[in-house]
């Protein structure tokens, strides 16, 4: 049986605060210029009926799907790369790639195909120096884990060996990207004048 003292969930609470702090910092960090380009491109997609394709591997792909679902709720023509009824990309389409490292092989490879076709490639990444950003029309940098190392108490407790990495691998990037993209949805709702009721009308009736 599990030792009760071990179940105080100290690391759990500490991690939640670590992430909350990270999200706060991230909003100050954002390069508004590239974010504005990204948002404007989406507004034009809605107005001029350009199609939006979203892709990402693993948990980044799941965050991308969350965003795709909200874009659908907002009335966009949007597809998730790899799903059944996703058609061929054309030159006037917009492809959004999500990759923390910016080096995920399958996503880099699809990014290259996107540019060969002549479509617009937008990358959300922690690493704007990587391959994917290099070929993208717009790159939005989302702060990943590096910044957490100076979080109050984190490094000190880590050194004592009290706990190991609290946000393993891409966790910080994935959460931050989800929050960023949901904030993009909030901005889009104002810009294209959509209410929550408009979204609800498009929400699947089959849940």
Residues in 128-147 at the binding interface with its own copies, rule: CB under 8 A: none
Candidates 120, 133, 173, 174: give the one binding its own copies (CB under 8 A): 174
Q: Which stretch binds its own copies (CB under 8 A): 9-17, 123-131, 133-141, 152-160?
A: 9-17
CB of 180 to its own copies, least distance (A): 7
Distance from first CA to last CA of the chain, Å, rounded? 38
54 phi, psi to nearest 5 deg: -125, 135
Q: Does 11 bind its own copies (CB under 8 A)?
A: yes
Candidates 49, 113, 118, 156: give the one binding its own copies (CB under 8 A): 113
Which positions from 69 through 98 interact with its own copies, judged by CB under 8 A?
69-73, 78-89
Candidates 49, 62, 118, 156: give the one binding its own copies (CB under 8 A): 62
Q: Does 184 bind its own copies (CB under 8 A)?
A: yes
Q: How far apart are CA 120 and CA 130, in angstroms?
A: 18
Nearer to its own copies, 16 or 49 (CB): 16
Candidates 15, 137, 147, 158: give the one binding its own copies (CB under 8 A): 15
Task: Look up 103 and say whether it is catalytic.
Answer: no
**Does residue 91 contact residue 116 with C-beta atoms inside 8 Å?**
no
Q: Closest Cα partner for 114 from 95, 134, 138?
A: 95
From residue 123, how far is each of 54, 129, 156, 199 by CA, in Å? 10, 12, 34, 26
Total interface residues for its own copies by CB under 8 A: 96
Which positions from 153 through 172 interact with its own copies, judged by CB under 8 A?
163-169, 171
Q: Does 49 bind its own copies (CB under 8 A)?
A: no
Strands (E), 65-147: 78-80, 94-98, 120-125, 138-141
Which of 103, 162, 174, 196 is the catalytic position? 174
- CB contact set of 121 (below 8 Å; sequence gap of 6+): 95, 97, 111, 114, 115, 135, 136, 137, 138
CB of 8 to its own copies, least distance (A): 7
Q: Does 183 bind its own copies (CB under 8 A)?
A: yes
Give the sign of the dihedral formed by CA 84, CA 76, CA 34, CA 134. positive
**Does residue 15 contact residue 167 with C-beta atoms inside 8 Å?**
yes
CB of 171 to its own copies, least distance (A): 5
Q: Closest Cα partner for 63 from 173, 143, 174?
A: 174
Question: Which active-site residues does the annotation give?
Answer: 174
């Amino acid at each position: 049986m599990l030792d009760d003292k071990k179940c105080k969930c100290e690391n759990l609470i500490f991690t939640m605060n670590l992430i909350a702090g990270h999200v706060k910092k991230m909003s100050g960090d954002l390069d508004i210029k590239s974010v504005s380009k990204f948002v404007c491109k989406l507004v034009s997609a809605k107005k001029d009926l350009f199609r939006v394709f979203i892709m990402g591997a693993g948990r980044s792909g799941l965050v991308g799907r969350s965003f795709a679902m909200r874009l659908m709720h907002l009335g966009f023509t949007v597809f998730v790369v790899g799903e059944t009824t996703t058609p061929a990309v054309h030159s006037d389409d917009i492809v959004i790639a999500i990759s923390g490292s910016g080096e995920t092989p399958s996503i880099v490879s699809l990014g290259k195909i996107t540019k060969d076709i002549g479509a617009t490639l937008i990358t959300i990444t922690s690493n704007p120096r990587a391959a994917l950003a290099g070929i993208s029309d717009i790159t939005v940098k989302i702060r990943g884990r590096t910044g957490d190392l100076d979080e109050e108490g984190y490094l000190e407790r880590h050194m004592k060996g009290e706990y190991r990495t609290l946000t393993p691998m891409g966790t910080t990037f994935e959460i931050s990207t989800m929050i960023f993209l949901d904030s993009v949805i909030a901005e889009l709702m104002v810009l294209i004048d959509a209410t929550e009721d408009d979204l609800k009308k498009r929400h699947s009736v089959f849940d």
